[in-house]
Every structure is written in structure tokens, then in C-alpha cells.
Structure 1
Amino acid sequence: MSLLLNPEQTAARLPWAPLVDEIDALLRDDSVSVPPRIVLPMAGQASLFAMPACDARTAMAKLITFTPANVGTDRPTIQGDVTVFDVATGVRRVILDGPTVTARRTAAVSALGARLLAPNVDGPMLIVGAGVQGRSHIEVFAAALGVRDFRIASRRRASAEALAEVARAQGLRAEVVDDADAALADCPLAATCTPAQDVALRATPRADAFIAAVGAFTPQMVELAPALCQHFAAHGRIVVDSRDADHEAGDLLQAGIDVGALPTLADQVRGDRAGERRGPVLFKSCGWGGWDLAAARLGSATTRT
């Protein structure tokens, strides 16, 4: 009998450090197969996402809705499920909460990117956006990379204050800042976790900066100013999470950058770092079914028979 897990139960099966390691392991697994995801546009700029993937032992299908109109309401923008199957028997093992999987795997991918690419992981870390992803990035960078000091910027100061309180309750240092661009000068680490409806970061980064940009995942969405993206291309390097970013990375596409020529996180994990150079690093994440498969592998491990 399969298990239907709620958000709390799903999170408990996806502890931060093991999830980061599972994503790393997945990128080294030659049996992984991830077809392009299906994105079905719906009314009101909403979308239905269908994302299947499998390896030699585990198969999963993620079905979620993304509803921008829910921003600012008590309804989540992402809703749905991740159903996990056993490849050998076809048996359904578990159904994980889709928004929880999305929140945790996205932040864990950023942490893996920082572990592999960041010139300086000492912090402080700037979090731009005080929603679910802002919180997830604070938690994973603290748990998996040991960052203890955070700066939080949000268009709604009340949201930033609330997230800062959550971070302090976890024993972390957290300060609300009004100007994200000004704070970037003091932060070697940053993550942009906004709804990506407008530019949220413009400032020139430090030479030892690592920025994970996760909010924009369509060609129309944007968080980073074009000049900022072009600065990374000229003076540092840009790495994308997967080849899906070639047609989804709105920040980079709107900056006129040839996304298809950029290396992926898999290239870094597998040691293919041709042309690598020093300087600030931009890690552009758009999402990929492989990240959900990594979460499915970890989240279903206790239900294998």
C-alpha cells in the first residue's frame, strides 16, 4: 500500500544535507533518464507542469500547478504531488507533497551549486525574497554549508521581518535590509527567490560572489538586470542547472546571453570544467525533473521492499 504524505512528513524524509548529497549522486548516475517536462499554459498566466523521470530502480511523475494569481493570498502558488514507483515491480511506493519537494530540491540544488562553485562560502548570505524559497535557502545553506549570518530583503518589510524571526529561532543571525543592491557588497553569497515579475538585483557583485538565481523559470520572467548577467559573462562565469535552462532562463535570455553555450551543474559534478575561470559565479536554476527524482529516491528509501 502506498503512503500519501503531507508537507511535514515529506520534509522529514528530505533532510537537507542528505538531499544535497542525493542530488550530487544523481548527476553521477548514468541510468537516469529525464525527458523534457510538459508545460501546459492555462488561463490567468497559470501553468500545469508534468515532469516524469526514472533511474534503474525508481520512477516518478511530478504533476503540479503554478498559479501566479495566488501571490499575496493564503493559497500557495505551487500545488500538486510527486508519485514514486518501483521500477522492478511497478508498485507505487509513496506520494510526496509536490510544493514541499519543489521547495526543498530547488534550495538543495543551489547549495550543491555553491558547494562546487562558490569562491567563498563563509557568508554573510543575502536572501532576496522572503517567501517559501527564501526560507528554504536559509535552512539549506545553514544545514549543509554552515552559513550562520543572513541578510534578508523583500518588497514587503513585514515578510522580511517574519523570515528573520524564523531564522533567529533556528539560532542564526538574520538582519533585514532595505536595499538588496547595497547589501550585495557585504555578501559573498546571495540567492534571489522572488516571484520574478521584475528586476530585483542590479548591483555589480563582489569578485568572490556566488549568486543563485531561482525565481525566473520562463523566458518572460526576470530577477536579475541584464547588465548584471552580462557582468558575470564578461568577468566571471555562469553555470545553469540543466539544459532545460537553454529555453527557460529568462534572466539570461533577456540579457542576450547564449545559454546553450553555458556549462551545467552536471558538467561540474563530472569534472568537465573546460574554460573555467576565476571571478564571480552566477548559478542560474530553472528546475529539472532530475531534481525531483533525487528527492523521490531519498523520500521513498524507507518504503522500499
Structure 2
Amino acid sequence: MGAEGELPQNLPLFLTDSDIAKLADWPEAIRAIRAAYRSADDEARTPGRIFAQSEREWMRIMPSVPGSGQMFGAKSIVGSFADGLRVSYLISLFDKDTADLVALVDGNRITGLRTAATSAVGASTLVPPMPLQVGVIGSGFEARSHLTALSHLVEFAGIRVFSPTPANRESFAREFEGLSAAGAVAVGSAREAAEGADLILCAARSRDESPTLHSSWVGPNTAIISIGSTTPAQRELPADLIGRAAVIVVDTYDEVVNGSGDMIIARAEGIDTDSVVVTLNAALSGEAVIDPGRGIRIYKSTGSGLQDIVIAEMLVNRARAEGIGTVLPVGIVTTRK
């Protein structure tokens, strides 16, 4: 078998973290995610995460061949404990027709962009077209990015935010005052943020991995976004709240149902989660019929390589159009087998 190959006609593009900051666009990200999840659902296109690790280093690979778009590839996340914990993210994109390397993209900001954009699309399947009272638990990056993304698809009647640090929740309320023409206020407890809310955004990790939201705070017709329980050890929603759910929309079926601590514990307590879980693809295609105004509706996410790849492709296309990024002086060969 020969080892000779062909260099690509177009050299690959490299996008830095600062390039991504210039190119990020919520409406475009939301459109890319919606298109990806409206394509035919095929688990073989986006398999589960691949892990490699030692006592000091670890690596996670998240591959995907989206049904939409012209590119496929993988996000690599690497970590080292040699000097505290240092983590890097790299997305590699290849052309579907030629298998040529198209781009290398710093994935640092993309994780937040794709997570919030997907949550906004997921929430849009669960809420009625009316102004909503929103309760936010958390005031960090995830809370800010999610509320911003949601504002492109959901109308707000009011925003209540809780963070354990008073200065942080007050700063958050000032930042989002007037978003979607709604007032934003800081409140003194997670319960105050959640009670009476039409939509609850859970975006704060508990230090002891206990749930950050309690079932008794949640009304009978409430939508919830849960993004903070992505491994078997993590907790965000209590089992009794999951047991009350009329529907749970998930971005990745196997990893949410079998890899989220919330769902694992709910099943261990005898709750039939299978009967209420539907995929985001089924929700968007109309295969699953959801009443957006009745019952407790939960969107639960662990993230996936599909989201990373379609957002990275969107950013690369914008970069080409706007002349942003660095064309690498070399490429890799593509061989015929």
C-alpha cells in the first residue's frame, strides 16, 4: 500500500480564541443547532465520548459526522494535573467530500456557545409563546450565556436571579435589566428565584453535589433547563422532581439517561424515566408531541460532539466570509486507499 498522498487545494484555516470572540453570533449558532437536530437522527453519526487517562493526564474525544453541513470532525479536550489543572480544547474539521483538513479551531469558547444555543432550542420546544417569568439559579458564565441565548427565542416577563454571593447576583441583575424588556432582580435564595417561575434555569454547581433545586419550589406547570449534571457523580435535580416530569427532552439520549447522576439516582429510586424521555430531534421533528403549557417539562443536557462540530463549521464559514483567521502555511496529505 503506497504512502504517497495529495496536499489539499486549499490550505487549512486556524481560528484562535480571539477570532472566535469576534465571530460568535447567537442567532447563527441557534440556527446551526436547530438545523443539526432537525436532520435524521442516527446515533452512529455521533457516538459517545472516548476517554483516555493516567494518574496525571486525561483526554476526551467527542467525534461527530453531522447530517447537516459540509464538515465533520472531533473536539479534543486534554487536561494535565502537573501544575494544578490545565485544560485545552481543539476542534478539527474535515471536508465531507474530500476528507481534507479544513480547519483547526480553538474550542475554548465554543463549548459555552454551543451549550447555551442548544439549551435555547431545547427550551423553545417546552414553553408557550408568551412572556415568561424566569428564575435563574447561578450567576456565572453558564447563567449569563444561557439567559442571553434564551432571549433570542423566549420573551421574558421578569427575571429573578439567585447566587450565594450577593455582589454577584446584584451585578447579574444589573447586567440583564431590560433584557426582552423585562425587569431583573436579585433575590436572597434559590427558592425565591424558583417559586412562581414559568421557566427555571439551573446553572450553578453545588459544592457537595446535592440538588440545587427542590421539588417543593416548582409549580405544576413549569419548564426547567438542567445543564449541570453531566457525569454519574454530579447532581442538580432531585429524584422526586424528575418523578413529576411530564416530559424530559434530552440532547443526547444515552449519555443523559445513563450518564447523568440525576437520572441514575431517579431510576435507582424506582422512577420510570424511559416513559417521559424524548430526544431533541424527536421534539423538533414533531415525532414527540409536547404540550408546552402543561406539566413539568425538563430540558436536560450533557453536551455532544454534534453541537461542537456544527458550531465550529458555522464559525469557519463566517471567518472565511469576513477574512478572519490564519491560513496555515502547510496542510496534511490525503491519501487514496
User: What TM bracket, shorter-length normalisation?
Assistant: 0.7 to 0.9
Aligned to 2:161: 152
Aligned to 1:282: 298
CA distance in 1, matches of 2:304, 2:272: 19
CA distance in 2, matches of 1:211, 1:178: 20
CA distance in 2, matches of 1:89, 1:302: 21
Q: Who wins on radius of gyration, i.e. which is larger?
A: 2
Residues 124-203 of structure 1: pairs in structure 2 closer than 5 A: 124-147=133-156, 149-168=158-177, 173-196=183-206, 197-203=209-215
1:298 and 2:314 matched:
yes
State the Cα deviation string for residues 172-191 of structure 1 (Å, max 9, x = none): 63221121123212321111
The amino acid across from 1:253 in the alignment is: I
1:35 and 2:57 matched:
no
CA contact (8 A) 1:127 1:152 kept: yes
1:268 and 2:283 matched:
yes
TM-score, normalised to structure 2's length?
0.76
- Report how far residue 58 of structure 1 moved: 0.4
Identity in percent: 25
Structure with higher RCO (Cα < 8 A, 6+ apart)? 2
1:247 and 2:263 matched:
no
The amino acid across from 2:36 in the alignment is: L
Alignment gaps of 5+ in structure 1: none
The amino acid across from 1:50 in the alignment is: I
1:211 and 2:227 matched:
no
CA contact (8 A) 2:21 2:109 kept: yes
The amino acid across from 1:24 in the alignment is: R
- Report how far residue 118 of structure 1 moved: 1.6
Residues 13-32 of structure 1: pairs in structure 2 closer than 5 A: 13-30=23-40
Q: Relative to 1, partners in 2 of residues 1:60 and 1:141: Cα closer, same or farther, differing over 3 Å?
A: same
- Greater share of residues in helix: 1
Q: Secondary structure at the match of 1:105?
A: helix
Q: Which moved more, 1:255-264 or 1:110-119?
A: 255-264
Aligned to 2:101: 92
Q: Secondary structure at the match of 2:212?
A: strand
Q: How many residues align?
A: 296
CA contact (8 A) 1:127 1:150 kept: yes
